[in-house]
Amino acid sequence: MKSGKGSSFPVVPVIALALGAGLVISFSGAFKNPSQPSGSTVPPPVAGVPPPSTNAAAPATTANTFSLVDPAASETEMTDAVRATELVNIGTDFYQQGNYLGAATNYAAAVALSPEDEAAHFNLASALVRLGRNAEAKMEYLEALKLFPDYSEAHNNLGNLLAGEDKLAEAAEHIGTAIQLTPESSSAQNNLGIVLMRQGKINEAIQRFTEAVRLQPDYLEAHCNLGNALIGQGKLAEATAEFEAALKVKADFEPAHRGLARVAQARQPKPLVPNSPVPLR
């Protein structure tokens, strides 16, 4: 997967968050800077997210580390860039362990040292989302996009936050941009499908969900979202197949079980409503 200015980053598995009506959105997770290998020393967890500080965590030292910096940069700039890289990687170790406070602290420190690093802004935003600090996260995604307008994952995640604010037109625009940049993104296809569902565009939503599961056949959330959309069209057999496909991947996936319950409910015969008596004249 490509992220940032053309650099390759390993990506943390997407974050799945449940919405109403059984829909599930996906956020792209945090990225690790390639200039430091995984498995580096991780400092003890921190208690909160203080203001950005260059002393947020002790650097992890490894042999032959390098940083993608301008050779003409000053020694101070190069030192800051290397330090920021270390902080991003420490933050991502925290993120992968589920310590989002520690992750955000280190990402914020990296941003303070290297404010033009769009990946540091993106990672900080991703940690803030997990902490429920969506307004701050939105600002960080916007900053990442100001630095690199073609940042697909930032468009996708920002679109999800906008959808959460019921700004569906803006959400569709950002997620649509993500798809234009990376049409192979199953996450963006799924998320645009959700926005379209909320706009009442069920046929278009089904196309997006279908594309998401084509791109990623084990995409549990997209299978369930497609199943829920098909229920809305009365296509109960097809909906059942989607929920069952999700359960083949993860037998205890609760959204799929809830979906099958909706199918069973939809198959129940509707009770007849007696006609109102006609008054005598």
- Structure confidence at residue 29 (pLDDT): 57
- Structure confidence at residue 76 (pLDDT): 59
Beta pairing partners, 72: none
- Structure confidence at residue 79 (pLDDT): 83
- Structure confidence at residue 130 (pLDDT): 96
Average pLDDT in the 186-213 region? 97
- Structure confidence at residue 69 (pLDDT): 38
Residue pointed to by tokens 């991947």 = 249
Q: For residues 280 and 199, give the distance between their C-alpha atoms in angstroms, rounded to a whole number.
A: 47
Output the average pLDDT for the chain.
79
Beta pairing partners, 26: 16
What sign for the dihedral angle of Cα 252, 253, 254, 256? negative
* Angle subtended at Cα 110 by Cα 105 and Cα 114, rounded to the nearest 5 degrees: 155
pLDDT band at 270 (very low <50, low <70, confident <90, very high): confident
| Statement: residue 261 has pLDDT above 80 | yes
Residue-wise pLDDT tens digits, 130-145: 999 999 999 999 999 9
- Structure confidence at residue 271 (pLDDT): 73
Proportion of the chain above pLDDT 70, given as a percent: 69
| Statement: residue 45 has pLDDT above 50 | no
| Statement: residue 50 has pLDDT above 60 | no
pLDDT band at 60 (very low <50, low <70, confident <90, very high): very low
- Structure confidence at residue 269 (pLDDT): 85
Q: Please state the φ and ψ torsions of residue 28, each to the nearest 5 degrees.
A: -70, 145
Residue-wise pLDDT tens digits, 111-126: 999 999 999 999 999 9
- Structure confidence at residue 20 (pLDDT): 46
| Statement: residue 257 has pLDDT above 80 | yes
CA distances from 185 to 11, 28, 192, 206 (A): 13, 10, 11, 16
Q: Which residues contact 80 (CB under 8 A, 6 or more apart)?
A: 113, 114
Q: How far is C-alpha 57 from the geometric centre of its chain's CA atoms?
A: 26
Q: Which residues contact 226 (CB under 8 A, 6 or more apart)?
A: 193, 206, 209, 210, 212, 213, 239, 242
Q: For residues 269 and 65, give the distance between their C-alpha atoms in angstroms, rounded to a whole number.
A: 67
Average pLDDT in the 101-120 region? 95
